Amino acid sequence: MAVEVRSAKGAATRDQILDVAGRLIHLRGYHATSLDEVLKESGVGKGNFYYYFKSKEDLGYAIIDRTIQGFTERTLEPAFADPSADPLRQIGEFLDRVLDNQRQRNCVGGCPMGNLASELSDIHEGFRQRLAGIFVAWRGKLAETLARGQARGSLRSDLDPMSAAQFLVAALEGAILMTKVTREIVVMERCVTELKHHLALYEVGEPQPEARRAEMEVPRAERGGEPQPAVRGAAEGEPSEMDREARSAPRRAEMEVPRAERGGEAG
């Protein structure tokens, strides 16, 4: 019993350190956050800290792993848990989850994974590889969902699931960054809306009513000019009205020429 109590207390202490360090690093960055600040805000002594973490680098790996786990368990997996659901609807709901997350944060902080990747990828290879793993998993989940839509016949065959998934991840990360910079949630809302419109282009089906109406409203000149009148009688082998008109024109012209020009009266 005593061992279980110590174990639970130890886990709580470790979580307390990670909670404080994760929050500070999310807002300030890894390098701008010192161990002294983490210890002061968490209320944990140095001895206890080094019992759970060998160094600040060890703490950094733990924070990355925790961030990845949180994103996977609370956002990524729930959005795609039902394999029978409509793929585009699932992706749309996933985008809404990310949007709502930024709304709840009041556009402050941005993406924890994106922040760490931007700060650490060029200077710490171990951190870069660990962070790259979550983006690979994220891209893979989206690609898997799009491929499922293709297999069902609801998405076009010329869609490249992996390329489309890469575009979605990159676009969404960029949208989160712009929302962080502007502190305007409308930026994120517009980006999510445009991403949904882009995904709709891959759907298989009849043209939308709006598209059909737009085609019908194209000016006649852009559709090849005025329609030509039907030629009656041609199908039956009879001379058409235009043929008869052409043949009668010379006779009318001859009748209208003055007699003097036609050689006078007949003898």
CATH number at residue 112: 1.10.357.10
CATH number at residue 49: 1.10.10.60
The model's pTM? 0.71
Cα end-to-end distance, the chain, whole Å: 146
Distance (Å, rounded) from C-alpha 43 to C-alpha 37?
10
Instruction: State whether 90 and 5 are in the same domain.
Output: no
Instruction: State whether 79 and 43 are in the same domain.
Output: no
Q: Is residue 161 part of a domain?
A: yes
Asked whether 44 and 17 are in contact (CB, 8 A), the reply is yes
Closest to 37 (Cα-Cα) out of 22, 15, 52, 54: 22
Q: Is residue 160 part of a domain?
A: yes
Domain that holds residue 42: 1-53
Q: Which residues of 210-234 are buried (b: 16+ CB within 10 A; e: fewer)?
A: eeeeeeeeeeeeeeeeeeeeeeeee
Instruction: State whether 27 and 120 are in the same domain.
Output: no
Looking at the DSSP bridge assignments, the partners of residue 203 are 155
Instruction: State whether 74 and 29 are in the same domain.
Output: no
pLDDT tens, residue order, the chain (267 aa): 444 445 677 789 999 999 999 999 999 999 999 999 999 999 999 999 999 999 999 999 999 999 999 999 999 999 999 999 999 999 999 999 999 999 999 999 999 999 999 999 999 999 999 999 999 999 999 999 999 999 999 999 999 999 999 999 999 999 999 999 999 999 999 999 999 999 999 999 744 545 444 444 444 444 444 444 444 444 445 555 555 555 555 555 555 544 444 444 444
Phi, psi of 187, deg, nearest 5: -65, -45
